Amino acid sequence: MSEREARRPEPLAAHAHVTLDAVARRAGVSLATASRALNGTTRVREELRLRVRAAADLLGYIPNAHAQALAGAAGNTVGVICHDVGDPYFAAIAGGVMRAAAEQDVLVMLASTFREPAREIAYVSMLRAQRARAILLIGSGFEDRAWERTLDAELAPYVRAGGRVAVVSRHRSLRADAVLPENRGGAAALARALLALGHRDFGVLSGPPALTTVADRLAGFREGLAEAGVALRPGAVVHGAFTRDGGYAAARELLAGHPLPTCVFAVTDVMAVGALAAFREAGVRVPHDLSLAGFDDIPLVRELTPALTTVALPLTEMGQHVISLALREPRGTRARVLRVGGDVVLRGSTAPPRPAGLTPS
């Protein structure tokens, strides 16, 4: 061995598995740019391409051989990108996708973005590299023009090359087949049902306002209240993460305010589960001291004590619908939209409001 070879640094991959994310950070580029530079599906500036390849060589990055093998079976592969497959909402929809895919002998590749817009775009780029037959985006879009433009730049050439794209939930400017749950209408219907129980003072546990699902459900709830001349008081809307822990934290913040509302609407069931735990810890009884409602009707909420009032969506069927839209022939030039209604389901977590002036025990 020469002296020069002896001084050559050993690739980091000899010590640990190196991810594409690590290569992107080392090169100082986005995950999507790193993917494009290494897979060659889209033209990348030569300076960036060389920088990414140098970082990959230095770190000893080895592309996912399994993913590369799948590229050869492009006609039988569908990519599903969701926010978090650990969330029962997305798990139920993804289950519907996989059930329908199995009937057509289609392989499903599943990825979670954990609600990071840049990661969603990077996964789209990777699926393009794998020549997936279709890409399904499962979950809310973002109220972010820059993200929309970047995502469209990834998807447009994929569609022109014959790829299929379909989405679940509203993506404001994305030209794709879509399954649209009636988030706005469902939240308005829930507001009417809660008003019918006698409630006039509400709190809302809301997710990040940049998510279109959050914006639609909050707007619909306000509209339903407005029909009866009821408005949310200042400070009644508390924003948190779109998760169980986010619901718990938002409920704790709501509890710090006085007086408590008589009814709380969590814009997703998962947040409502966290809120129920926070209320229980604080000695606030549901529904005796405060009613609680959610949205989605994930299977878990029927087993809670008390069972959760919610807006029920046919989650498994939504997954089946979205893959059917993506693979259905013949394909026209106009995007197809399937609207899915939600049904208000009143359960034990809601009741008529406590008498005025009563404080939680």
Which single residue is written with the structure tokens 């990777």? 126
The residues facing 142 across adjacent strands are 211
Count Cβ atoms below 10 Å from residue 234 Cβ, excluding itself: 6
Question: In what helix (H) or strand (E) does residue 185 lie, and over which residues does it extend?
Answer: helix 183-196
Give the separation between CA 106 and CA 307, rounded to whole angstroms: 37
Q: Which one has a higher pLDDT value, 99 or 333?
A: 99
Query: What DSSP designation does 176 have?
Result: S
172-187 pLDDT tens trace: 667 789 999 999 999 9
Q: What is the pTM of this model?
A: 0.78
The count of C-alpha atoms lying within 13 angstroms of the C-alpha of 251, restricted to the half-sphere facing its C-beta, is 33
Contact 221, 189 (CB under 8 A): no
- What's the whole-number average pLDDT of the chain? 86
Class of 73-181+315-342 in CATH: alpha beta
Give 2's pLDDT tier (boundaries 50, 70, 90): very low
Give 189's pLDDT tier (boundaries 50, 70, 90): very high
pLDDT number for residue 6: 40
pLDDT number for residue 40: 64
Close Cβ partners of 240 (under 8 Å, ≥ 6 residues apart): 205, 206, 207, 246, 247, 249, 250, 253, 271
The mean-pLDDT minimum among 136-145, 161-170, 200-209, 317-326 falls in: 136-145
Q: Is the pLDDT score of 64 beyond 70?
A: no
90-112 pLDDT tens trace: 999 999 999 999 998 899 999 99
Question: So where are the chain's domains?
Answer: 3-17+25-59, 73-181+315-342, 183-313
125-135 pLDDT tens trace: 889 888 899 99
25-56 pLDDT tens trace: 999 988 888 888 887 656 778 888 889 888 88
Give the separation between CA 21 and CA 238, rounded to whole angstroms: 33
Q: Which one has a higher pLDDT value, 332 or 45?
A: 45
Fold of 183-313: Rossmann fold (3.40.50)
